[in-house]
Structure 1
Amino acid sequence: MVLAGLSVAVTAAALVLGLILPASGHSLTDRCPRTGAATGCGVAPRSVGGADPGPVGRLYGSEVRRIPTSSRSVALTFNAAWDETGVETALTVLRGRNVPATFFLTGRFAERHPGAARSMAAEHGIGNHSYSHPQFADLTRPEAEQEIMGADRAIRRATGAVPLPLFRFPYSATTPEGIAQANELGFADIEFTTDTNGYLGTAGGMTVQKVVDRVVDALTPGAIVQMHVGTAQGHGPALDVQALPRIIDTIHAHGYRIIDLRTVLE
């Protein structure tokens, strides 16, 4: 699997930067996440006669749990589905250490915390984590489509930016059918190599040290680390954010660099 340029070069660059603004006569909420077209996505492109299927198309048909590379590179990602606890601190740490991350937002989070969503989008790539974080196995196809596209619309409205054409399933509960539907809507499925489990909190037996240890144990070329901003209960420490400085320092100490997930779209 390789992520490479979009079918239209200008659209690719804009998606990578996450800075497309509405074109005259069209709303951001109507645009296809893959092409930027105002008339919807239709069926995702496939390779025809050996032709390059394009950037996101090369990822279609499977989940991505590791960036395809042999270099000692790691990508940091955060899910944002609950409250905004820790968002400002996480952004401050990332900015201070000049480290990129990708944030996967639910549509409901974007609606409830538009300021936090805009702050994330202003400095980092943002992806789609469904609208309400349901179990996709319990959804009909129309319901699943509404979850994906409803989130896309909500994120665009809240941030004024175009999310990356990347989708992460709630609970990482992927199925071949679910991935195929996400592909048809213009999204590649990006999961993770390891979850820090920081979201469990101290009540779930986690500590900052255990969070860091889980990252270290998963270090491998192309690893994708999943963390969370906020807490499920809306209270208590956001352990992933507390651990973030140590995570970054430890990754670097092991000879790895932290790369921007957007760069693999180039």
Structure 2
Amino acid sequence: MHTTRRTLLAGLAAVALTPGRAAWAATAMPRPPASLMGAVIRRLPTARKVVALTFNAAWDTSGVDAVLTELRRRRLPATFFPTGAFAKARPAAVRAMAAAHGLGNHSYSHPYFDGLSTQERQREILRADTAIRAAAGTEPLPYFRFPYSSTTTDSVADVNDLGYAAIEFTTDTNGYLGPGRGMTVDRVVERVVAALAPGAIIQMHVGSSTGDGTVLDAQALPRIADTVGAAGYEVVDLRDFLVPAGSAPGK
């Protein structure tokens, strides 16, 4: 049987890797269903015309306000995947995300996981959990997104052993590349259109990897929302794909 995230966190208390809220270990929490475990999830297990909007946060906050404002205006859900380092450096941004949306885990320092040991992977994930929890003041989701989408069978197993589902994406908009590397708002939207399918997971970013403050994903979000809706798709919340605490395994 896989060791749960809660059990591992309790066992690692002696080395100061547990979250700040001691009561968490005793709290019943939703968990990923069996359909989200044991593999890298690049599309949600559904035949419905739904898509999930997700945003990584590892750099600056250039697009945070614009993204949150547009999501709020349209009443759309999203899931944000901050790194622990981002959460520690920019807690106000993470709190703003958590006010209306779910927070996943994108590691602490954004390393390639294929080159890490099991213990190093655990430390990255649990340090991030601690930082995200402290910044947001709320319970992070049991969803992990690999830095660079660099996954292996062993690393996915390590993530699952901590109680997380490995949530990747159907397409990355590549908006993070910026105009300097050939991306435009039009091309961002085109990549979303090309990936539309039941259960598609769209990956975007809230920061500027180029450092110039240009966040094409934030600029493209209104058009993405319009395009998804015009194609008959509904934007769904990844929290809807969790199993309530106390449910029988596999449900």
Q: CA deviation at 1:261?
A: 1.0
- 1:23-172 mapped onto 2 (5 Å cutoff): 28-29=19-20, 36-37=24-25, 55-172=32-149
1:195 aligns to 2:183 (yes or no): no
Q: CA deviation at 1:56?
A: 3.9
Aligned residue for 1:50?
none
What TM-score, normalized to structure 2? 0.85
Q: CA deviation at 1:58?
A: 4.0
User: Equivalent residue of 1:123, what SS?
Assistant: coil
CA contact (8 A) 1:201 1:236 kept: no
Aligned residue for 1:259?
236
CA contact (8 A) 1:29 1:152 kept: no
Instruction: Give the AA of the match of 2:115.
Output: D
Q: CA deviation at 1:59?
A: 2.2
CA distance in 2, matches of 1:131, 1:140: 15
Aligned residue for 2:161?
184
CA distance in 1, matches of 2:230, 2:111: 38
CA distance in 2, matches of 1:197, 1:174: 19
Instruction: Give the AA of the match of 1:37.
Output: A
- 1:240-251 mapped onto 2 (5 Å cutoff): 240-251=217-228
CA contact (8 A) 2:207 2:213 kept: no
Counterpart pick for 2:207 among 219, 227, 230: 230
CA distance in 2, matches of 1:31, 1:223: 36
User: Equivalent residue of 2:125, what SS?
Assistant: helix
Aligned residue for 1:24?
none
Aligned residue for 1:18?
none
CA contact (8 A) 1:215 1:247 kept: yes
C-alpha offsets along residues 98-152 of structure 1, whole Å, 9 cap, x if unaligned? 1110000100000111000000011100000000111112222221111111100
What TM-score, normalized to structure 1? 0.80
User: Equivalent residue of 2:75, what SS?
Assistant: coil
CA distance in 2, matches of 1:132, 1:198: 21
CA contact (8 A) 2:19 2:129 kept: no
CA contact (8 A) 1:67 1:224 kept: yes
- More displaced stretch, 228-237 vs 169-178: 228-237
Q: CA deviation at 1:203?
A: 0.8
Inter-CA distance 174–203: structure 2 relative to 1 (3 Å threshold): same
When the two chains are superposed, the root-mean-square deviation of aligned CA atoms in Å is 2.0
Aligned residue for 2:190?
213
User: Equivalent residue of 2:190, what SS?
Assistant: helix
CA distance in 1, matches of 2:191, 2:127: 33
Instruction: Give the AA of the match of 1:184.
Output: D
CA distance in 1, matches of 2:74, 2:81: 21
CA contact (8 A) 2:32 2:165 kept: no
CA distance in 2, matches of 1:228, 1:164: 18
Q: CA deviation at 1:28?
A: 4.2
Aligned residue for 1:42?
none
State percent identity of aligned pairs: 58
